[in-house]
Structure 1
């Protein structure tokens, strides 16, 4: 019997995309794609999610690629411009789960401790959670098993009674290895169907 739901945030409940910023900075789409794929990479960004300061991460990258300094500094200097809207279909599912009163609902997110307060101010639904564990505050991130265990231990969650959802398959597989039933999120519509199959959030 599942009594706990664990959401990822980015690309599940919140539309975060560096393209929203960098399309304003690059005239050429391919140049933008090359910059994001080869300079401000996901691996680099995840180090800030794991606790490295934005200043340190930025300075390190500028030293490696001084010709791209202005665009590198924009990554965190104008970070809020990468935030899009809430993903309304998933927020509606979240609200239905919350209103049912059947589940404790948590968030487990890879997110910099320095930028997360911006999201807290922008998205009211972040206040609906029974608890949020932020990688940048814990100095570790998904898919590290110890990061999941922080959430489980802090809120006394039984892995066998929890359901986790994340858009990154790597993170889903890591949760499953800990005995947490998981859903690889691809869209609100597909999530709704999968929850109904599990007997969760089934229409009355």
Structure 2
């Protein structure tokens, strides 16, 4: 029986435009692909292993024609709206007290700072969770196994009593490998608010 629901943040609650962000990044930087160094720095930043200042300085040094402000705008381009009906769904789910609710997100300080400025109910959203894990705050990131082990251990959870919901296939593969029930949600065709209609079998 499912006792805990572990939610991703992006493309589960807040909408993201990942494809558009990649195109915008390539056009802005006049590149065809991210270099290995860029990919590494992005990963380090998501894990909180480098500061926002160090992250921005890296890009300013590599792309001197682009200002610090433009780099921040390029980085935050993927962040879109947070539909209010998803907050309402979470509020009602919390009110039932049926499940332990956990958020587990790969994110970073710049994204969270932007979300706090543009989403007026961010604090309310956060308060509906029993545990709220952001990759840059815990120095771990999905799809690595250690971040799932951390959540299970920290909250004294049994894997097969948990449901993990994420739009990223690799993240879902790791959770399945650990015996966690998984919904690989498709943000183009599915909505978290239909969880119990679409995935009722995951609660048995």
TM-score by length of 1: 0.75
In 2: Cα distance, 1:89 partner to 1:188 partner: 10
Structure 2, unmatched stretches of 5+, are: none
* Conserved 8 A contact 2:26-2:32: no
Pick closer, same or farther for the CA change 1:110–1:64 going to 2, 3 Å.
Answer: same
In 1: Cα distance, 2:32 partner to 2:91 partner: 34
* Conserved 8 A contact 1:165-1:183: yes
Pick closer, same or farther for the CA change 1:80–1:30 going to 2, 3 Å.
Answer: closer
Pick closer, same or farther for the CA change 1:118–1:33 going to 2, 3 Å.
Answer: closer
Pick closer, same or farther for the CA change 1:175–1:55 going to 2, 3 Å.
Answer: same
Residue 153 of structure 2 aligns to a residue in which SS? helix
In 1: Cα distance, 2:42 partner to 2:14 partner: 17
Superposition CA RMSD, Å: 3.5
Report the number of matched residues. 194
Pick closer, same or farther for the CA change 1:80–1:65 going to 2, 3 Å.
Answer: closer
Residue 172 of structure 1 aligns to a residue in which SS? helix
Pick closer, same or farther for the CA change 1:138–1:155 going to 2, 3 Å.
Answer: same
Pick closer, same or farther for the CA change 1:89–1:42 going to 2, 3 Å.
Answer: farther
Bigger mean CA offset, 44-53 vs 29-38: 29-38
Partner deviation per Cα, 1:58-117 (whole Å, 9 max, x = no partner): 2223323334x22x6523368666532214454444334322221000001111145435
Cα offset, 1:41, TM superposition: 6.6
Match of 1:106 in 2: 102
Cα offset, 1:181, TM superposition: 0.9
TM-score by length of 2: 0.75
